[in-house]
Amino acid sequence: MDSNIKTITAEPGSWLELGANFDGKGTNFAIFSAHAERVELCLFDPSGKTEIARVELPEYTHEIWHGYLPGIKPGQLYGYRVHGPFDPENGHRFNPNKLLVDPYARELVGQFDWNDAHFAYDIYHDDKDLTFDERDSAPFTPKCRVIDPSSFDWSADKRPSISWPSTILYETHVKGFSQLNPGIPSELRGTFEGMGHKATVDYIKNLGITSVELMPVHEFPDDQHLLDKGLHNFWGYNTIGFFAPASRYYGPQGIQGFRDMVRAFHDAGIEVILDVVYNHTAEGNELGPTLSFKGIDNFSYYRTLPDNHRYYINDTGTGNTVNTSHPRVLQMIMDSLRYWVEHMHVDGFRFDLGTILGREPEGFDQRGGFFDVITQCPILSRVKLIGEPWDIGPGGYQVGGFPPGWAEWNDKYRDTTREYWKGDNNTAPDFAARLLGSGDIYDLRGRRPWSSVNFIAAHDGFTLNDLVSYNEKHNDANGEDNNDGHNDNRSYNYGAEGPTEDEGINAVRERQKRNFLATLFLSHGTPMLLAGDEFGRSQMGNNNGYCQDSEISWVQWEGLPETNEALRNFTTHLIKLRQTQPIFRRENWRDGMEVNWFNAGGGYQQPEHWLEGTTLGLHLGRRDLEGQKGIWSDVLMLFNPFDGQVPFKIPPLNKGKWILEMTTADPSIRGQEIDQDEDFDLEGRSLAVFRRG
C-alpha cells in the first residue's frame, strides 16, 4: 500500500442496510461477501485519481462486512478491495489489487478506461485465469459516490397510475430519441434532461402514449471489442451498477436530470418504465474483467458449472448468469427495484431475459424465489411488471409461463401478425387468437388480456419501415460481416431492396405500415410502439443496432417526406380510437363480449374455412355499452392480406347500419353507410373498420 495513503479506523456500524448510507453525521458502509477474508474500503479525493485513505471494515455479521465513518458526507468517492482465496476452480476469484465497484453504489464517477489491470489474472499466461495478477486497477476504474436519497424532493410529484387496460407503451432510448431533435437545446440532447424536455414530453403526450419504456439506463460500460472497432454499446444491456443511473446520459444537472425527467413525464400524466438487466453483468465469462461482483464473491453472485466452478453457466449468451437463487443476490435485485420505485419514482420495469430471474438450479419455476418475493412485496407488486419471457437456457422459452400479475412481451403476436400481412398461408387461426389478446396463452389463473404485450417491432430487429422495405438484414456497419442479428425477420420488400422511387412499391409499403399499426392498436392486449415507427423511421436495414451510437439508431426528425407526417397522423388517430372506445381495450375475458367471425361470403366462419383463406371479418359486440353517448357497442373489422380486391358481404345487424370508420386503403375515406347484406369492396392488403350507427 502507498505510504501516502492514510489508515483510518472505522466504528462497527450496522449490517442492516447495504451500501453507503449517510445518516446526517457520517456514513455507514456495508457489503455482502460470504467467502471474503477481509474487506478494505478505499476513499478517494474529489478527482477520483488519488486514493487518500484505506479503511478495513471492522465487523462481519451474517456475511455482511460493515463499518461506520463519522464525518463522511455525500460526495465522497470510494471503492472496495476484497481479500480472499484466488481459487477459480472452486469458484473464488478474489484479488485485492483490483478496485471494485460497490454493488449498491447509487452513482458512479468516471468511466472504465479499459486496461490489462482490470483482469485478476495474467492475460498473457498460458493458463490464463488460473494465474494471479498484481497490477492495481484503481487508476482505470470509476469511483462510487456517496449520495443521500432522502434529500430528493418529490413532494409535488404525482404518479400517473395508468390502469393496465388503458396502457399504451412506447419503447425508446434516451439518447436515440433526443440526440437529433431540433426542439431540444443542443446541450441537452442525448441526456436525461433532453428526454424530459418539453419538446419530448409534448410530442409523446400528443401522440397519445401513456407509458414510456426506456431502454437500459443503469450504469454500463462500453465493451472493449466494440471500442476497438470504433463502436459503442448503444443499447446498454451490460449492467455494472444496478442502483446508479448511466452517467453518459447526464446533462448539466447530473443525477438530478434523471429525477427532473421523471417528474416532467409525471406532470404530463405519462408513466416511466425502465428496461432492466438483472440476468447478467458486464464482467463476462471466466476470462472477463474483475470490476465488482466477480471480485467481491464470485461463487455467490454467479451461477457456476456444478462439476467445475471455474466456468459459468451461460443461460444469457453473454458469458455469465446472475445467481438469483442466492438470498443475498436476490435481496440486491429487490433492493435495487425498490430504490428505483421509492427514490427515483419510476412506475414499472421490463425485465430483459426475464426467464433467468425465475430460473432455479433445476430450471425455470414460476413459483421460484424471485417471483414469490416480488409478488409479496407491497411496493413492487403495485408497479407494472413486464417480462421478456425467454433466455437461451434449457426450457428458456416461457411465453405464457409467468405468474399472475405480470405482463409479457408476446413474440407470437409479432411473428403471426407479420406472417399474416405478408400473405402467408394458414395463418388465419393464429392471427385471430393474437387479435383477441392471445387467450389461448393468457386466459388462465385469472390473468387478463393486458398480460399480452403486443408489438410489431422492438429495438431488437427491423423497424416497421424496414419490415416492409427489406428482405434481408444489412448489418455491415456493425463490423461482423453481416453475421449478427436475426435472419428470420418475416419481412418483405415488395419489389425493391431498401428505398426506391417506384411509386407503386412505395404505395403498398405505406399501406402495409398502416395495416400493421391498425392491427396493433385495435387488438386486445397491451400495445407497444417502437419509437419512430409512428412515422416510418428507418435503420437502413440494420436489424441489430446494439453497437450503433450513430444516425443509424438515432431518431431522425428533419428532412422527412410527407408520407411520414401522414403516417404519424394516422397513428395518432388510431391511438385516440383505442383510448376512447372500450371495445378495443378489453379488461376481462369474462365481460360478456360477443365475438363472431365471418367469411367474405357473409356467413359465419366454419372450421373448414380457417385454412381455406385468410380474408376475415370480425364482429365484436358489448351489450353493456349500448346507449352510452359516443361509445361503440358494435364494431366490424375486415382483413384482406392479399393484393387483390375482395367483395365482402357485410353481415346483418338487428338494428341500425354499419358506418365505415376507417380503411387502411385510403384513410381519408370514412362515414360511408353500408346496408345489410351489401357487398363492400375490400381493397387488396387492407383493413376496414365499421361501427354500428
C-alpha distances in angstroms, 95 versus 65, 137, 224, 328, 579?
17, 10, 22, 21, 57
Distance CA 602, CA 616 (A): 10
Distance CA 653, CA 665 (A): 25
Burial zone of 123 (CB within 10 Å; 0-12 exposed, 13-18 middle, 19+ buried): middle
Among the listed residues 286, 388, 408, 466, the single catalytic one is 388
Look up 587 and say whether it is catalytic.
no
Look up 388 and say whether it is catalytic.
yes
**SS3 label, residue 428:** helix
C-alpha distances in angstroms, 251 versus 114, 137, 482?
24, 28, 35
Residue with cell string 453483468: 281
The answer to whether the CB of 367 falls within 8 A of the CB of 293 is no
Q: What angle (nearest 5°) sits at the alpha carbon of residue 264, between those of residues 262 and 267?
A: 110
Which three cell numbers mark 432? 385471430
- In the chain, the largest separation of any two C-alpha atoms, in whole Å, equals 94
Which three cell numbers mark 461? 430487429
The answer to whether the CB of 638 falls within 8 A of the CB of 645 is no
Among the listed residues 213, 271, 315, 352, the single catalytic one is 352
CB neighbourhood size of 62 (10 A): 10
Q: What angle (nearest 5°) sits at the alpha carbon of residue 530, between those of residues 161 and 270?
A: 20
Show the DSSP H helices in 548-603 as ranges: 562-580
Which three cell numbers mark 570? 394516422
Residue with cell string 395495416: 515
Residues in Cβ contact with 50 at an 8 Å cutoff, skipping those fewer than 6 apart? 44
Which three cell numbers mark 656? 341500425
Sign of the alpha-carbon torsion through 215, 217, 220, 224:
positive
Half-sphere exposure of 536 (CA within 13 A, CB side): 25
Nearest alpha carbon to residue 522 among 469, 570, 471, 470: 570
Nearest alpha carbon to residue 213 among 342, 338, 351: 351
Which residues participate in catalysis according to the annotation? Answer: 352, 388
